[in-house]
């Protein structure tokens, strides 16, 4: 697989420690930008990062803040806070000019007792607003987290622009889905723009290196490798991430 299709998770807080290593190895980062980093507004550092990536001929993707970030927040005060957080995040997208931005929906059926309609109306409006405020060349990838089937993502994306799609997280699928991989790919496969690849034992969200658990990693990779899809490794230990990266390169 070509290097330009592969990205590796890098928390922005680990930038000083890990980014020089990734540059040396020509590994493209997916920066996770948490809320406290957004508030610190390290724009000079962002410009330096962008320049370093350009000099190395590399691209990046960005994972937006996700804690408490609910696209369909029913309480207007909560929704206002979510939008303010995104407004403070948008300059990061402008400065880094990533290939894609990954966001979470904030939905789970237990919180809303299965009443998706009240959530969905607000979530569609919020996603359309995000689409309007992110540069048009950047893919917007909505990630499955607690989703037990693809229904919510399917409905959420019904009226979006083509550059808005799905970040299919294989580890989350393995942990939370109640339907088959085939059903997911059949229903949302044409909207998948990015994969989050990590493994687990179907008991907890372990973020292990690939092929060390029981998630259907190879099935997803084989399905995706001939398609225009980004591969992002979300392996949380350095040795495992590098081993997974080298495995992907060999496929």
pLDDT digits (tens, 9 = 90+) for 174-226: 999 999 999 999 999 999 999 999 999 999 999 999 999 999 999 999 999 99
In a 3-state reduction of DSSP, which class is residue 195?
strand
Q: What percent of the chain has pLDDT over 70?
A: 100
Give the span between the Cα atoms of 39 and 162, in whole angstroms: 31
For the chain, counts of helices (H) and of strands (E): 10, 8
Measured between alpha carbons, how far is residue 192 from residues 11, 186, 216, 244 in Å? 23, 11, 16, 21
Full residue range of the structural domain in which residue 193 is found: 3-249
61-63 and 100-104 strand pairing = parallel
pLDDT digits (tens, 9 = 90+) for 17-35: 999 999 999 999 999 999 9
Whether the model clears a pTM of 0.85, i.e. scores above it, the answer is: yes
Total domains in the chain come to 1
Instruction: Give the CATH number for residue 137.
Output: 3.20.20.150
């Amino acid at each position: 697989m070509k290097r330009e299709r592969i990205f590796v998770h890098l928390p922005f807080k680990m930038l000083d420690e890990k980014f020089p290593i990734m540059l040396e190895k020509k590994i493209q980062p997916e920066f996770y930008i948490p809320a406290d980093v957004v508030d610190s507004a390290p724009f000079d550092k962002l410009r330096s990062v962008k320049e370093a990536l350009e000099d190395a001929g590399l691209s990046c993707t960005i994972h937006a803040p996700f804690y408490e970030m609910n696209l369909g927040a029913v309480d207007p005060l909560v929704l206002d806070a979510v939008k303010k957080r995104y407004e403070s995040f948008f300059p990061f997208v402008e400065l880094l000019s990533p290939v894609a931005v990954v966001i979470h929906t904030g939905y789970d059926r237990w919180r809303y007792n299965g009443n998706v309609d009240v959530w969905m109306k607000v979530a569609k409006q919020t996603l359309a607003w995000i689409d309007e405020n992110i540069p048009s060349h950047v893919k917007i990838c909505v990630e499955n987290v607690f989703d037990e089937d693809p229904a919510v993502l399917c409905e959420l994306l019904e009226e979006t622009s083509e550059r808005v799609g799905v970040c299919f997280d294989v580890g989350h699928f393995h942990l939370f889905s109640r339907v088959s991989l085939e059903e997911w790919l059949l229903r949302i496969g044409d909207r998948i723009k990015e994969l989050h690849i990590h493994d687990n034992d179907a008991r907890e969200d372990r973020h292990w290196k690939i092929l060390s658990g029981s998630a259907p990693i190879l099935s997803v990779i084989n399905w995706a490798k001939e398609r225009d899809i980004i591969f992002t490794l979300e392996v949380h230990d350095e040795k495992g991430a590098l081993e997974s990266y080298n495995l992907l390169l060999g496929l």
